[in-house]
Amino acid sequence: MPEIKFYNRAPVPMEMHKVKIVQKLTLLPVKERLQKMYEAGFNTFLLHNKDIFMDMLTDSGVNAMSDNMQAAMLRADDAYAGSETFYRMQQKLEEIFGISYLLPTHQGRACEHILSQHLVKPGNCVIMNYHFTTSKAHITRLGGHVEELVKDEGLVTKSNLPFKGNIDLDKVRACIAKEGADNIAYMRLEAGTNLIGGQPISYENMKAATEIAKEHGILTVLDASLLQDNLYFIKTREDSMKDKTVAQITRMVADLFDVIYFSARKFGFARGGGILVRDETLFHEMEDYITMFEGFLTYGGMSVKEMEAMIVGFEETMDLDVISQGPQFIAHCVRELDRLGVPMVTPGGGLGAHIDAREVVSHIPAEQYPAGSLVAALYLCGGIRGMERGTLSEERNPDGTEHIASVEMVRLAFPRRVFTLSQTEYVIDRVKWLYDHRHLIGGLRFVHEPKTLRFFTGKLEPVSDWPEKLMEAYIADFGADQ
């Protein structure tokens, strides 16, 4: 769906839905937000949802369901084994992706766990365009290592390249030559590379990369969790795809891969996940992991009510009007902030708008988590919960030193069909104010640091009294009640 044109102003994203159910939001006074931030250890994951005004932490499991999705939940078959709901879900996924074998799981990281558990041995390499935190953690936990081979320009935050998630084909060939094909567990391509700004990968790049893998007998895996955004970008940015439907593009992408897994907390608008396996032998080899870790083979740890909603959500994902909403709102947010001088990751990708924290708070040392500081400051200055995507989200090197992230960003996720344009404008306003007062933001240090995935549950503290000084400036401009 193109942006709707206006008679006397520039186009803006238009909600292609009407609101039927609402949830009340509360904006705590600024001093209460400061208190809540201290209580949460300056980790936005540890904030209570009731204390948040705009929750832009993630799009995972917080997308709005359509009326048809909610209605479908009423027909769920609650059988422990042999649920008809499962077979409807399997049939819908086969219709969309052309793959018959489905292993249901409770969410995306469960898919990563099962794939890694079965395929990764100590010393193995997994080729990726770029890693996701949980996908990498599962591999390294088993003694494997990840080779991130995204093109160099994918890590340049400000550009106009349409497919910054593309994998470097020369690097792929060099990696195979170095590692040996037998030592490569699989090639994982992520549609909508999460950690570099939700940036898409083109169909042509996926096709070329998987052809190289197949030449060497390497299993090809697609992380389709953010596929819906990537489909929109392929349709609108890749010339050879402009005349194809979303469903046609989806099948063309699917045909390139041996395995496709997804988090339906993103893809499908509900809460669940699954692994689609093309080869029957590989499917049966992984069946036991479902019954051991997830549940029976016809529910995989999911609520069958959610599964029924997902079935409708998968179908809605084939509708361009539906999948255009997230990217268009994100593009508007990115364009406006970029126009106001705020360093942003451009062009706008999927998932959310991404602030270049390394540029915004360049005075904060990398070891003091610039993106973590900026995301905490954003909550203080607007009740907006974003997510740190930088060094804080990495794991330390074996010698205990910090592994400095390639990019240092704050992600402002746009859950599908949740926020209005006026709420988006509020976010733009508060981010601009914070940028103009960026010199007041200081660093953070750990007071409780988990060994694995520390960004989820770790607690930090400011290295100075910068939060109090920032609040003084905010109150001077907006008053204490906002």
* Residues acting as catalytic residues: 80, 132-133, 223, 266, 389, 455
Going by their DSSP bridges, the two strands 273-277 and 352-356 should be labelled as: unpaired
Residues 380, 33 contacting (CB under 8 angstroms): yes
Taken in order 135, 140, 145, 150, the sign of the CA dihedral is positive
